[in-house]
Structure 1
């Protein structure tokens, strides 16, 4: 069973918390004791006697206690798929939260209040989705019950959003008329929207194609640990352990070790302590190679026919997450999965206005929550794909050398 990671976005009171609660409630993913507590605490009760928004109220309280970078997650599953919902705020001061949650998501659900239509926050969330190259967009036109389930209003909002999507180059957009409060078209079809012939939101989430995220055309494996037991029984054993980031690896594959750029073949593949014919995306694995090559933690083993870039200077978009400002010439650690290198900010090219995508010249330093395009130089070559080709190997973080704090989210161009 595969996993769909998605993020919900919406303006204040668009019903984001209620939607998450409704998905959990109607898909029977709430335990009995949770339900009893929910019924006792509910004030704004629906027809079932509960306030579904309370399920995520605790997440907001956590943020009020000072959790600002970490994104809160909700988990649920059906018979067809497992789901991870990233719950991140969309306000301007929480840009870093939004980008953190969306960067690991395969789909974004943008909520629109049927009474309000497309507003500035809708455009802003769509711009962030465009910036992060989101491949699947769901537009949930919520509170359709408050406009008497009007097909005309639904079509009008759909037309408004299509103009936004066209301007931003967004594709694979799906529209749903829903009521999170009453549950219309979320898990069950609504008899009050007979004019809508599409699937329910959950039906769509269960069946939307996410196979392209596995990047079978770009097999990538990064070494996390070199296994070299110093025992008589396993005297000649040398394996390279890690997770298959993308693609499929089999015995006999021609591979290249990067950044050394040395060719060899895979002699054996293991997972779960057993030798297997092949391993694939998201599996933990141990790869063995035919030749004696010096391979360390952070090195890549990739198939020779599909090589990533190997550079020590490159452009990137950075979302700045620290109260200390970013200046040209600042030095940081850059962590790219299990590889950590020293890096310097050679140039700050421009700021990106997250409300318009406009490029703004930089007169001073970069402040918390601002998004910029920079040129980075690393102490030794970095192995990567562009973020657009693969967000799995195209992202990294910047770490402050003195405090060890994460200060920037990096999307490599």
Structure 2
């Protein structure tokens, strides 16, 4: 079985190439051919002639626009080999779909229009091919019929691509001049290009040798499900990603590190004496050890590493930019954990492979980053294992997939830092103060009255002998956060630092009042996640923009309206109101003293 993808820039002929392969290998039934002929007259781009692209472009939007949007998978076979091909879209906005198709492929067919040569999207797709570990590329220089079947043009493009592949570390490149529409060099050699004597596309696909063995890392099986049909059976189900296993083999459950031995290898067809990579099995162990979905069973003699901090390559797939410090969900196999990009080391220019400084990532940009997880995970570098080295990032608010990435190595300092035990804890500190520690998080527009209300709340708490501290946005920027500006990236870091300080103050037994605009829901949710249940109370000071502008004693809104202040919340930077704040204060209806009283009532 050979899994391969077709990729490249838009309109380079990817779908047509696959359609031609399916048609010329006689794998289409008569009714499929009749449907194709009818669809070609209705939706085709070949003036009534057969449009082979319609065999794989099945979505209505694809047919209307004549483009590929989603990844289309097709199975076909010949006398020599079986194939699964993924036809990937060429448009930049669908790069995420291309990465999905490439993630399971052994070979990439990169198409290039002979008239246009190597384009930015060609280079971007080739970079992703390299990033995802594909080391075999067939460069199909397509539409040679429209370039006069010129040998010099083919050789120019082939030479340029080989140089690009060498930069990307792609070792095996085969270049073939083709016309997918006319069938030149697809199954049979073209009489129009007698100067080309190499393999045809199908001959190359049938004969290419793919080394799937990779590095011998030993037995690995991510646990997908714990099977417990009754009290007498407990098995760990999953697909073996590398190595082999037999009953009696010593294994380790990670990340816990507990050891046991394989008792049985269970399948639907009965127990096995041995199982190896690619097989789906259920393993029972000799000991009752704690392992669950998302854990990994590994050979005890050569276990994989465990860490919570990594260097990773990241392909950003979302329209909203990546901001370091913002929390996401990371999904790796069947395991989901909290994650944060702590630093972008550099982003990569897909045209030149140059490393560029960056504070954020835009759609389809690739970067090398530092990644922090909120718990330890077992892993292998992606070069050693696709299953244990690949991940996606998920937005915590929308649940949309925003990035795909590969792990390079662990940041070793993660294993050197441990929680130090202390005898005096938060409960003891709160007890001596005779109060319940809380974080009151005041959020709202500039000029909404946050600081005024927070100040009144603190005064009332002080009169009741409560131990408090007020963290005000302006005051903190004179010290702790004086190095931060007002870009989206700096706003995220501003809130991250303050949230960590507030957490320490609550741990000290204090009632801490935080008065910050904190415009983004994601950062307020991140702050909430640092505290125990009931400790974080969000106070939304709800003031209409026009009212806040009238109260603007600092003149900031006027400067923002005049273009003198950039990234000012409410003017040219958004404010995302809370969806479920513990208390909402309507400043247009009551005085600051009355509103402060509502907050005191909330505390009880």
The interval holding the TM-score normalised by the smaller chain is 0.7 to 0.9
Evaluate the alpha carbon distance shift between residue 54 and residue 118 of structure 1 in structure 2; reply closer, same or farther with a 3 A threshold: same
Residue correspondence of structure 1 range 12-411 to structure 2 within 5 A: 12-43=10-41, 50-59=50-59, 61-62=61-62, 71-212=71-212, 217-230=217-230, 235=232, 237-363=233-359, 365-411=360-406
- Residue 25 of structure 1, CA deviation: 0.8
Question: 2:15 touches 2:56 (CA, 8 Å); kept in 1?
Answer: yes
2-structure distance, mates of 1:110, 1:302:
36
- Residue 205 of structure 1, CA deviation: 1.5
2-structure distance, mates of 1:374, 1:250:
39
- Residue 361 of structure 1, CA deviation: 1.9
- Name which of structure 1's ranges 403-412 and 319-328 shifts more when overlaid on structure 2: 319-328
TM-score by length of 2: 0.61
2-structure distance, mates of 1:128, 1:230:
46
- Name which of structure 1's ranges 195-204 and 178-187 shifts more when overlaid on structure 2: 195-204
- Residue 50 of structure 1, CA deviation: 2.0
Question: 1:69 touches 1:96 (CA, 8 Å); kept in 2?
Answer: no
Higher normalized contact order (CA 8 Å, seq sep 6+, divided by chain length) = 1
> Which stretches of structure 1, 4 residues or more, deviate above 6 A after TM superposition?
none
Partner of 1:357: helix, strand, or coil? coil
2-structure distance, mates of 1:64, 1:246:
44
- Residue 70 of structure 1, CA deviation: 5.4
2-structure distance, mates of 1:380, 1:164:
39
Evaluate the alpha carbon distance shift between residue 7 and residue 41 of structure 1 in structure 2; reply closer, same or farther with a 3 A threshold: same
Partner of 2:312: helix, strand, or coil? strand
Question: 2:309 touches 2:372 (CA, 8 Å); kept in 1?
Answer: yes
Partner of 1:275: helix, strand, or coil? coil
- Name which of structure 1's ranges 111-120 and 181-190 shifts more when overlaid on structure 2: 111-120
Partner of 2:110: helix, strand, or coil? strand
1-structure distance, mates of 2:306, 2:68:
34
Superposed CA offset, 1:73-127 (max 9, x none): 2332334433222222233333323323222222111112334444444333323
1-structure distance, mates of 2:308, 2:8:
39
2-structure distance, mates of 1:39, 1:239:
52
2-structure distance, mates of 1:161, 1:339:
38
Question: 1:94 touches 1:369 (CA, 8 Å); kept in 2?
Answer: no
- Residue 325 of structure 1, CA deviation: 3.1
- Residue 223 of structure 1, CA deviation: 1.0
1-structure distance, mates of 2:311, 2:243:
26
Question: 1:18 touches 1:180 (CA, 8 Å); kept in 2?
Answer: yes
Question: 1:106 touches 1:213 (CA, 8 Å); kept in 2?
Answer: no
Evaluate the alpha carbon distance shift between residue 60 and residue 244 of structure 1 in structure 2; reply closer, same or farther with a 3 A threshold: farther
2-structure distance, mates of 1:64, 1:41:
11
1-structure distance, mates of 2:330, 2:68:
21
Evaluate the alpha carbon distance shift between residue 296 and residue 41 of structure 1 in structure 2; reply closer, same or farther with a 3 A threshold: closer
- Residue 314 of structure 1, CA deviation: 0.8
1-structure distance, mates of 2:321, 2:110:
31
Count of residues in correspondence between the two structures: 404
User: Which structure 1 segments of 5+ residues have no match?
Assistant: none
- Residue 35 of structure 1, CA deviation: 0.7
- Residue 300 of structure 1, CA deviation: 0.8
- Name which of structure 1's ranges 392-401 and 222-231 shifts more when overlaid on structure 2: 222-231
Question: 1:343 touches 1:379 (CA, 8 Å); kept in 2?
Answer: yes
